[in-house]
Chains A and B, each alone.
Chain A
């Protein structure tokens, strides 16, 4: 829809929809200015400032009007239910992540104020990305967030961090290329970049056989772009290296927030195609999802490093959730958010446990920071640490009543409802395969004798009160999730109702 410049009013601008992003960007600028005015401020200042900004941002997001038609800023922003909900998820995950920088040992990336400014810009990028149905806006959000994220990874000053950042950047650039080509095809097809109008144009011309190839191109290219972002097979190979190179909490963060954002956009784009009865998109996504979870699980079995294992496990979880996009039902969409809301705490907790034991030098293994041997006999040295880590592993494996189980059964139930019984069985069997590598860590922690390098000193090397606080939150949510699922589901369902999926 084109707006006559003379008719632009404040109503059409609907500036309040921009508030959340403006707060994040403004906050980032404040941090930069502070650094300009006074040198050598301690990182704790920046951490607390970032948390406050995120809190204000969260308040602004939750205070917004939302609805399926709540548009703003020349109608490029769309504040529907899933936009609000995913922003809330992203902000909560960010608030859990940022205190992890207050470690007892000094890791220098966190002493740069630029880190926090970039972090806030990245959040603004994700917020733009999830709250728009305009392909250009989505692209801008995606790129803002990704560019900031590449830099954040590279700031962890290790040779393999640079490698990770460059790898991620190259892959991201490729994905961006696919995304823009896919958008271009759809624009050519429909003369619009807005998903609603693209859907209308395609459904008008559905009988026209000549557009099949164009739809194939558009949907195929976009699917490739998102397969990169969601680390789906065969575009998943960057993920383990990037996770390994990034600092542990950032890796945990990357396994949640960028994925949530990418899932929201996938919901908007691919469920549109599925609603248009373009069946091969659905088949393609199911095939990708099944291969992704299976391959990632098999790869995770043979890893020697816990962080790489967790990286593959995150890929496998993403494959699991991808099934929901193919189903394109309200229940499946609700399942995505339930899954990630619960998975977030557990996975961030697991990565935070790696962070607690992070040592400046590789004392356990020449190649890896977190080999399994590092956790040998942990129950004898720090029983609480071992129990907490075991809880996270059991939760990731999907043992009830811990958090991820509820996401799993909700998604599996959605799969059964949609009539894909075989797919639900495949998902179940994949969880059983996955249980093996999570158990492997438990076996190391509980059933093996400690090696001589494993002492209280080395394993609690990096611990501090803020880290323990965040771990405490993660443990509480993981264990008591049975009581949180109901309110969470109620909220998610309200938000899903306030969203138009597909056409």
Chain B
């Protein structure tokens, strides 16, 4: 199948349009079916994916606006492949987890399918404008999901989410247009093809400003430390499905943007900005971890811990070596799986009790043993216990980061401790101790629907924790290629020295 990527992108959207005529009682079944097909297509892509090839595969290209160099251009490499699969998986499990009595189920399913198109589209686009198109479009269904199914101040949270990201990405758009202009200036043709941009030499001064423009768009999405204030609102008000997708996939767009745009297009500026980004990331890692510890609401704990982990991903990205970058991409996947699962778990208890405050719980392990076990597994994965998925990525990132800054690594490593403190505190307050609250006495354990959604995630957490190689290897290949390309393009000696490409070792 040559056009498998286009099918992957547009199949959910087409299904979403057809979804308008589905009867509302069958909407969830329709959503599950479509998302399953999408996941199977994504897995099929993995089957056909040539893991030895580090470059772009399955590329498709057709001119859209030829006078202006915009073309529909998609491709997949080891970096984007697994994020796409993860996005498809999380969407499917999120839909499965939807309660049958969700109001306006049909609208929810249609929004989710459109959202899935934009998510897959962002990670597969190789044309900057098409990337931007999906990037912006992803805000619209999310706005609706938060605004229509969220908590009491949902409208405020939804609009804040939209405007914050929209403002940042418009600055990024100026950067993209400037980039196209510089390319035009040098080569006399208009193009928005990212792979062409990789080859364009840029002066340091230009790189500096372009980096700042891209940073405005990506940093808000990640969200980097001073720009993170929209996220707690969004998570606090979003329905379970919204939080799951937001944390698991949408935030990855930001870090993916850094990997796909900032690093290879602007290697010198990336190195120049490394101390700045690392400083921000370290603040983000430690500060949000501390805030997480102070939260009373389970969901806010997980929201802040997810921001804290995004900081570690950023550290890995800017470590500029194979371990750090490869580890951070692996960590994007594991963060998607783990934080997605944790938000699902909070959603489960919220549906039963109508509250997320830890003080309301206690001793839940006695009434909901299965739930407590799964929660425990995910918690361990989140703090990075060896043999879980969280360990692999975090270890690689810290290993890579150690080569850059030993002190920074110690600081970042301390979050594993803070992380385990607040996570275990959460676990202790909610699941152990005496069962004091009367309302918790008759809580039912997980039912079939919830188990279907959660067990696959548990399996992945253990599988990739024990044997990460099938995923890690293609990632490493592409990361290696990316670093080589960065090093070739770098203008200054400092940059060339900062980028460390380790010899390929057999794992």
A residues with CB within 8 A of B: 379, 394, 397-401, 406, 409-410, 412-413, 416-417, 421, 424-425, 428-429, 431-432, 435-436, 439, 442-443, 446-448, 482-483, 485-486, 489-490, 493
Contacts and interface: CB of A to CB of B under 8 A. Distances in A.
B177 A446 contact: no
B129 interface: yes
A446 B154 CA distance: 12
User: What is the predominant secondary structure among interface residues of chain B facing chain A?
Assistant: helix
Contacts of A448: 155
A485 B181 CA distance: 19
Contact of B181 (A417, A425, A431, A490): A417
Given A399-B137, A439-B159, A486-B65, A446 B174 contact: no
B451 interface: no
B377 interface: no
Contacts of B155: 443, 447-448
Contact of B137 (A401, A421, A428, A432): A401
A257 to B, nearest CB: 26
Contacts of A443: 147, 155, 158-159
B133 A425 contact: no
B166 A409 contact: no
Given A432-B167, A443-B155, A486-B66, A424 B137 contact: no
Given A439-B163, A493-B67, 16 more contacts: A412-B174, A413-B68, A413-B177, A428-B170, A429-B170, A432-B163, A432-B166, A439-B143, A443-B159, A447-B144, A447-B154, A482-B65, A485-B65, A486-B65, A489-B65, A489-B68
A489 B64 CA distance: 12
A404 to B, nearest CB: 13
30 contacts: A379-B107, A398-B170, A399-B137, A399-B140, A400-B132, A400-B133, A400-B137, A401-B133, A401-B137, A409-B129, A409-B177, A412-B173, A412-B174, A413-B181, A416-B181, A421-B209, A425-B171, A428-B170, A428-B171, A431-B170, A435-B163, A435-B166, A439-B159, A443-B155, A443-B159, A446-B147, A446-B148, A482-B65, A486-B64, A486-B65
B358 interface: no
Contacts of A429: 167, 170-171
B148 to A, nearest CB: 6
A12 B181 CA distance: 45
A416 B65 contact: no
B162 interface: yes
B136 interface: yes
Nearest to B173: A428
Nearest to A418: B181
Interface string B128-139: 010011001101
B37 interface: no
A490 B147 contact: no
Contacts of B159: 436, 439, 443
Nearest to A417: B181
Interface string B65-100: 111100000000000000000000000000000000
Given A416-B178, A447-B155, A482 B64 contact: yes
A44 to B, nearest CB: 33
Interface string B187-222: 000000000000000000000010000000000000
B148 A447 contact: yes
A64 B107 CA distance: 51
A443 B163 CA distance: 13
B9 interface: no
A486 B2 CA distance: 26
Contact of B178 (A400, A421, A432): A421
Contacts of A446: 144, 147-148
Contacts of B107: 379
Contacts of A413: 68, 177, 180-181
A399 B170 CA distance: 10
Contacts of A410: 68
B174 A400 contact: no
Contacts of A417: 181, 184
Contact of A399 (B63, B136, B177, B178): B136
Interface string B205-241: 0000100000000000000000000000000000000
A424 B180 CA distance: 14
A439 B132 CA distance: 19
Nearest to A423: B174
Contact of A489 (B67, B132, B158, B170): B67
B273 to A, nearest CB: 19
Nearest to B135: A400
Contacts of B158: 443, 447
Contacts of A400: 129, 132-133, 136-137
Contacts of B67: 486, 489-490, 493
Given A421-B209, A446-B147, A435 B177 contact: no
A52 B133 CA distance: 39
A425 B148 contact: no
A398 B181 CA distance: 21
A482 B158 CA distance: 27
Contacts of A431: 170
Contacts of A424: 174, 177-178
Nearest to A384: B20
A407 B137 CA distance: 17
A413 B69 CA distance: 12
B117 to A, nearest CB: 12
Nearest to B178: A416
A167 B338 CA distance: 63
B171 A435 contact: no
Interface string B423-449: 000000000000000000000000000
B140 A412 contact: no
Given A435-B166, A493-B67, A412 B177 contact: yes
Nearest to B184: A417
Interface in B106-150: 107, 129, 132-133, 136-137, 139-140, 143-144, 147-148
B162 A439 contact: yes
A327 B65 CA distance: 23
User: Which of B63, B162, B209 has the most CB atoms of chain A within a 10 A radius of its CB?
Assistant: B162
Contacts of A439: 143, 159, 162-163
A436 B136 contact: no
Contacts of A435: 162-163, 166
B163 to A, nearest CB: 6
Contacts of B129: 400, 409
Nearest to B106: A383
Contacts of B170: 398, 428-429, 431-432
A483 B64 CA distance: 7
Nearest to A448: B155
A432 B139 CA distance: 13
Nearest to A444: B155
Given A417-B181, A489-B68, A428 B133 contact: no
B174 A421 contact: yes
A416 B162 contact: no
A428 B174 contact: yes
B359 to A, nearest CB: 31
Nearest to B180: A413
Interface string B44-73: 000000000000000000011111100000
Nearest to A400: B133
A446 B162 CA distance: 15
A436 B170 CA distance: 14
A498 B431 CA distance: 77
A394 B129 CA distance: 17
Contacts of A409: 129, 173, 177
A493 B63 CA distance: 18
B145 to A, nearest CB: 11
A394 B114 CA distance: 15
B198 to A, nearest CB: 20
Contacts of B136: 399-400
A436 B163 CA distance: 7
A413 B166 CA distance: 18
A485 B66 CA distance: 10
